[in-house]
Amino acid sequence: MAIVPIYKYPSKVLKKTAGKVENINGSTAGMLNDMVDTMYAANGIGLAAPQVGMLERAIVIDYDPENRGKNLFKIINPAVVEAEGEATREEGCLSVVNYSAEVTRAAKVLVRGWGIDQKEVEIEADDLLAVCLQHEIDHLDGTLFLDHISRLKRELYRKRLKKQSAQAPSDDRGKVPAI
pLDDT single digits (tens) 130-165: 999 999 999 999 999 999 999 999 999 999 988 887
- Catalytic residue among 22, 124, 136, 155, which? 136
Q: Name which of 56, 30, 11 is nearest 171 in CA terms.
A: 11
Q: Band of the pLDDT at 174, cuts 50, 70, 90?
A: very low
Average pLDDT value for the chain: 92
Question: Does pLDDT of 20 surpass 90?
Answer: yes
Q: Band of the pLDDT at 28, cuts 50, 70, 90?
A: very high
Cβ–Cβ under 8 Å, residues 14 and 94: no
| Secondary structure class of 147 (helix, strand, coil) | helix
CATH ID of 6-164, from 3.90.45.10, 1.20.1200.10, 3.40.50.720, 3.40.50.2000: 3.90.45.10
Residue 9: Cβ-neighbour burial (10 angstroms; 0-12, 13-18, 19+)? middle
Share of the chain above pLDDT 90, in %: 87
Cβ–Cβ under 8 Å, residues 161 and 97: yes
| Ramachandran sector of residue 61 (left: φ over 0; alpha: ψ -120 to 50; beta: rest) | beta
Determine the Cα–Cα distance for residues 76 and 12; give it in Å rounded to an integer: 22
pLDDT in tens, 61-78: 999 989 999 999 999 999
pTM for the model stands at 0.90
Determine the Cα–Cα distance for residues 98 and 70; give it in Å rounded to an integer: 27
* Amino acid (one-letter) located at 81: V
For the question of residue 136 being annotated catalytic, the response is yes
- Domain ranges in the chain are 6-164
